[in-house]
Amino acid sequence: MFITLALRACQVQAPKPRPGWFRTIISSVGFSIDVAALVMTLVACLRPNTLDNNGNWLCSKTMQGSRLTGADNFKDGTDALKDGHLNLGAWFGFQEVLLDRLRLPERIGFRFMLAHGATLTCVFGKDEERFEGIRFSVRPDKPSAYISGLDTGEFTEKRLLALPAPLTESVWHQSTISFSATAIGIEVDGQAISIPLNSPGKRGRVGFRGGHGDTFVDDVAILERGHSRPYTESFEKHVFTANLAMIILIAAAYLFIPILFTVALLKQQWRPKYKLSVAAYALLSFGMVAFYLYILVLSNQYPPTEQQVRSNTRHSPPDSSYVKESQEEFSKKYLMRPAQDSTKIVFVGASQALGDGARNDSESFVKVLESLLNTRADSPKRIECLNGSVRGACASQLAGAYAETYIKAKPALTVVSLSYTDFRIGTPDESFAASLRSIVQTNQAAGIKTLFVLEAASPEVFPDGCSNHAIMSRVALDSGIPFVNAFEYMKMHCDDGFLFWDSDHPTSYGHRLLAECLLPQIAAQLGIDTTH
């Protein structure tokens, strides 16, 4: 833009008029540079207020072995930082955000607000193996506490905090966590307590983790040990004001430039077509500013919000072609290989059984079970777990895939882990029961044992489970087959660690617990001892 002004200024002051073609080229180049500068400026201003554009925070859900529902939306969308606050309850909740640089904090200050049933853990000293944190909670089953644990999510230590006053729901609280060589000081709304430290703090990632309910964080200030200035984060709460100021400056500049050029053209007595080009340029400039104002008004709706996505999304099972692809993959992996002298277990389920939520496939409950069975069992043969689960599939689709493909593996046992996919898509009770009976009857005809698993879910989202649990248990009792209530097992261990990433996708520790839950019943069905 300044190059253009200089060129045109030189042109106005030139002692001799330049040829027409020269002035045309100079004007065209000048207009192009100005318009390009305007476009780039506006594009820079148009960046929505998201964690991805913020650039300082990592989203833990996006770093798991499989992409969890809503993980990318939380990072790239505007819900996470709506109204200038970090909301860890957005996009199915249970979000964890961590600063992208390792820090050894001396003091961590922040404001927070908890909705009904919410929790907030300020995480510090987190690395690839361990973490520590202070949990603030309004849930009686998960009280405020100091916690430390493994990166899988398991708590190895938990000390309840006797806060001076109970936390109030839907009210902003001010907290400061300070660290010394022997203790951690915790101040909430001006009242402080301290807890002794078993070991000095370590350098690691600092961040925040929530649960199911809306959990808001703002005005973060982290002072590192040995530093005088803290890192601060307000989550760009003044984005609108900044953008509005930029618009005013751009509009003023583009109002002044056409007026300046018009005066210059009049002095040079350029022909009308040049004056027309300046007028067109001015209209284009103001048009782009108006366009930016229009986009700014809609900026909170783009990218699409969680509410928009949920209102426009109808839960439905995957296309039959997707299930067919899964069957073909199962065939290539297990049926087209040389015969294996092993005892086989086929698992039939949806995304939970497929391993979603685990850091990697080896930490999914199916793989953990296979490892436990082979290390603890006295079986003369190697035990092999074959996974026929299909992400998002309903019971009727899986029953068809099992009868058509999975049963060809000739398993000794089939484990059916279902409930929540059919619950979400609204599968009629009788249809769900009929699909379960179909798998049982197919196995009974082939002399294969069947075990039902009442699928696990977070008790924060489903305090009493879902109606499909009762259907599965009834079909199991009517058919004379065993079942395992994984939901109740996980509920008993709900405060032993971070168990879920959302309503029904476990963390690596959650998957480990599921494997421990199923191990005795599976061993009993195979007639092997795993107690030693």
Instruction: Provide the CATH number for the domain around residue 153.
Output: 2.60.120.560
Strand order in the sheet with 96-99: 57-59, 96-99, 205-210, 119-126, 130-137, 145-150, 155-160
**pLDDT band at residue 49, thresholds of 50, 70 and 90?**
confident
Three-state secondary structure call for residue 520 = helix
pLDDT, residue 66, reads: 83
Cα distances (Å, whole numbers) of residue 277 to 258, 287, 381: 10, 15, 85
**What is the reported pLDDT for 284?**
66
State pLDDT tens for residues 459-509: 999 999 999 999 999 999 999 999 999 999 999 999 999 999 999 999 999
Given 233, 258, 287, which residue is the final one in a domain?
233
- Residue 306 belongs to some domain of the structure: no
Supply 273's token pair: 């077509």
187: in domain: yes
* pLDDT tens figures, 191-233: 999 999 877 778 999 999 999 999 999 999 999 999 999 999 9
Under the banding of pLDDT at 50, 70 and 90, the label for residue 382 is: very high
Are residues 396 and 480 located together in one domain of the fold? Answer: yes
Indicate the pTM of the whole model: 0.83
Instruction: Name the strand (E) or helix (H) holding 420.
Output: helix 420-425
What is the CB-side half-sphere exposure of residue 217 using CA atoms within 13 A?
Answer: 30
- Using DSSP, state whether 500 is helix, strand or coil: strand
Query: Which residues touch 521 (CB under 8 Å, ≥6 apart)?
Result: 451, 482, 484
Could you tell me if 349 and 327 lie in one domain? yes
In a shared domain, residues 71 and 123: yes
pLDDT, tens digit, for every residue of 445-459? 999 999 999 999 999
Query: How many Å from the N-terminal Cα to the C-terminal Cα in the chain?
Result: 78
Domain count across the chain? 3
Same-domain status, 164 and 224: yes
| C-beta contacts of 194-198 below 8 A and 24+ residues apart | 195/146, 195/159, 195/161
Q: How confident is the model at residue 251 (pLDDT cuts 50, 70, 90)?
A: low
35 shares its domain with 122: no
Q: Is the pLDDT of residue 296 over 50?
A: yes
Residue 171 token pair: 């009210």
CA angle (238, 62, 496) in 5-degree steps: 105
Domain check: are 381 and 353 in the same one?
Answer: yes
Alpha helical stretches, state H, 213-319: 239-268, 272-297, 306-312
Does residue 273 lie in a domain region?
A: yes
286 phi and psi, to 5 degrees?
Answer: -65, -30
pLDDT band at 67 (very low <50, low <70, confident <90, very high): confident
Q: Determine the distance from the C-alpha atom of residue 94 to the mean position of all C-alpha atoms in its chain, rounded to a whole number.
A: 8
Task: Give CA–CA dist 441/318, Å, rounded.
Answer: 25
Give yes or no for residue 1 having a pLDDT over 50. no
Residue 81 covered by a domain:
yes
Lowest pLDDT segment from 144-148, 306-310, 350-354, 378-382: 306-310
Q: Using alpha carbons only, what angle is made at residue 74 by residues 39 and 120, rounded to the nearest 5 degrees? A: 130
Q: Give 207's strand partners.
A: 98, 123
| Token pair of 130 as six digits | 């361990």
Domain boundary among 233, 267, 291: 233
460 located within any domain:
yes
Strand partners, 142: 139
Predicted pLDDT of residue 185: 95
Tens-place pLDDT, residues 322-367: 999 999 999 999 999 888 889 999 999 999 999 999 999 999 999 9
Gap between the Cα atoms of 60 and 112, Å rounded:
20
Same domain, yes or no, for 154 and 211? Answer: yes
In a domain, 310, yes or no: no
Give the position of tokens 């109970």.
Answer: 166
Say which residue, 275 or 331, is predicted with more confidence. 331
- Report, as an integer, the average pLDDT of 21-47: 56
Calculate mean pLDDT across residues 299-324: 66
Closest CA to 284 of 39, 70, 457: 39
358 secondary structure, DSSP code: S
Residues 228 and 243 in one domain: no
Share above pLDDT 70 across residues of the chain, in percent, rounded to a whole number? 76
468 shares a domain with 332: yes
Residues 14 and 87 in one domain: no
Q: State which of 204, 233, 262 marks the end of a domain.
A: 233
- Would you give the DSSP letter of residue 501? S
Write out the two tokens for 502. 């959302």
Q: Of residues 66 and 423, which shows the higher confidence score?
A: 423
In the chain, how many H helices and how many E strands? 16, 19
Phi (first) and psi of residue 245, to 5 degrees: -65, -40
Q: In this predicted structure, what is the pLDDT of residue 437?
A: 98
* pLDDT for residue 246: 59
What is d(CA 486, CA 480) in angstroms, rounded to the nearest whole number? 19
The answer to whether the bond into 19 is cis (omega within 30° of 0) is no
**What's residue 44's pLDDT?**
53
In angstroms, the CA 511 to CA 367 distance is 10
* pLDDT score of 10 more than 50: no
Token pair for 2: 């300044």
Instruction: Report the pLDDT value the prediction gives residue 2, as an integer from 0 to 100.
Output: 40
Q: Are 467 and 421 in contact (CB under 8 A)?
A: no
Q: How much is the pLDDT for 197?
A: 85
| Contact partners, residue 474, CB within 8 Å, separation at least 6 | 433
- Helix, strand, coil proportions of the chain in percent (round to 5)? 45, 25, 35
Overall average pLDDT of the 273-278 stretch:
58
Pairing of strands 119-126, 130-137: antiparallel
Report the b/e string of 458-485 with b at 16+ CB within 10 A: bbbbbeebbebbebbeebbeebebebbb
Average pLDDT in the chain: 85
The structure tokens 């082939």 sit at 446
Residue 428 identity (one-letter amino acid):
P
235-246 mean pLDDT: 59
d(CA 118, CA 407): 44
- Are 19 and 111 contained in the same domain? no
Q: What is the pLDDT of residue 247?
A: 59
pLDDT of residue 497: 97
Instruction: Give me 339's structure tokens.
Output: 């015969």
Quick one: 246 and 327 in the same domain?
A: no
The yes-or-no verdict on residue 27 having pLDDT over 70 is no
3-class state of residue 94 by DSSP: coil
Decide if 400 is inside a domain.
yes
Q: Which residues constitute the domain of residue 16?
A: 2-46+239-301
Question: Residue 357 sits in a domain of what CATH number?
Answer: 3.40.50.1110
DSSP 335: I
Q: Which two tokens stand for residue 220?
A: 């973060």
Q: What is the CA radius of gyration of the chain?
A: 31
pLDDT score recorded for residue 3: 42
In a domain, 248, yes or no: yes
State mean pLDDT over 264-286.
59
